[in-house]
Structure 1
Amino acid sequence: MSETLLTVIKERRSVRKYDPSFKIEREEILEMLEAATMAPSTSNLQPWEFIVFLNPEERKDLRAIAYNQEQIETATAVIAVLGDKEFYKNIDPVYDSMSAAGYINDASKEVLVGNAKKTYPYAPEEVRKNLATFDAGLTAMQFMLIAKERGYATGPMGGFDKVKFSERFNVSDRYFPIVLITLGKENAPAYQTTRLAIKDKVRFI
Structure 2
Amino acid sequence: MAPSAAAFQALVHSRRSVRKFDAQLPFDHQAVQRSLQLALLAPNSSNMQLWEFHCVIQDDLRQQVAQCCFNQNAAKTARELVVFAVTPHKWRERAELNAAQIRQNFSGRETHPSAKRAFKYYERMIPALYQNDRMGVRGALRKLLSTLLGLKKPMMREVSRTDLRVCLHKSSSLAAMNFINGMRAEGYDTCAMEGYDSKRLKQLLGMDRETEITMVVGCGPRAEGGIYSERHRIDAETVIHTH
Q: TM-score, length-normalised on structure 1?
A: 0.88
Structure 1 residue 70, shift from structure 2 partner: 2.9
Q: Distance in 1 between matches of 2:67 and 2:82?
A: 16
AA at the equivalent of 1:23: F
What is the CA-CA distance between 1:17 and the residue it aligns to?
1.1
**Alpha-carbon distance in 2 for matches of 1:184, 1:134:** 25
Distance 2:54 2:186 in 1: 21
1:67 matched residue in structure 2? 70
Counterpart of 2:196 (choices 128, 153, 160) is: 160
Alignment check: 8 A CA contact 2:102 2:118 kept: no
In the superposition, relative to structure 1, how do residues 45 and 203 fare at CA in structure 2: closer, same or farther (>3 Å)?
same
Per-residue deviation, residues 69-100 of structure 1 (Å, max 9, x unmatched) = 13323222100000122352211223434665
1:133 aligns with 2:165: no
Cα pair 2:106 2:115 within 8 Å, conserved: no
CA distance in 1, matches of 2:170, 2:177: 11
Contact 2:56–2:62 (Cα < 8 Å) also in 1 = yes
Shift of 1:170: 1.8
For residues 47 and 199 of structure 1, the distance between their equivalents in structure 2, rounded to whole angstroms, comes to 35
2:76 pairs with 1:40: no
Q: Which residue of 2 aligns with 1:150?
A: 186
| More off after superposition, 66-75 vs 32-41 | 66-75
Counterpart of 1:142, as a letter, is: N
Residue 15 (1) aligns with residue 51 (2): no
Q: Which amino acid in 2 is paired with 1:92? A: E
Q: Is the CA contact (8 Å cut-off) linking 2:78 and 2:219 kept in structure 1?
A: yes
Q: How many matched pairs?
A: 203
One-letter amino acid matched to 1:69: Q
Unaligned runs of 5+ in 2: 130-138, 140-160
Matches within 5 A, 1:176-187: 176-187=212-223
Larger Rg: 2
Partner of 1:93: 97
Match runs of 1:16-31 below 5 Å: 16-21=19-24, 22-26=26-30, 28-31=31-34
AA partner of residue 200 (structure 2): K
1:143 and 1:137 mapped to 2: Cα distance?
A: 10
**TM-score (normalizing by structure 2):** 0.75
- Give, in whole Å, the separation in 2 of the partners of 1:103 and 1:75: 47
Residue of 116, 119, 122 corresponding to 2:122: 116
Residues 123-162 of structure 1 show CA distances to partners (whole Å, capped at 9, x for unaligned) of 2432321111000011111111111111110110001011
Separation (CA, whole Å) in 2 of partners of 1:146 and 1:95: 30
CA contact (8 A) 1:157 1:181 kept: yes
Cα distance between partner residues in 2 of 1:186 and 1:175: 31
Paired residue type of 2:48: L
Shift of 1:176: 0.8
Structure 1: 5+ residue stretches without partners: none
**Structure-1 residue corresponding to 2:149:** none
Q: Is the aligned partner of 1:80 residue 2:83?
A: yes
CA distance in 1, matches of 2:170, 2:17: 20
Q: For 2:64 and 2:186, locate their aligned partners in 1 and report how far apart those are by CA, in whole Å.
A: 29
Q: How large is the RMSD of aligned CA atoms in angstroms?
A: 2.2
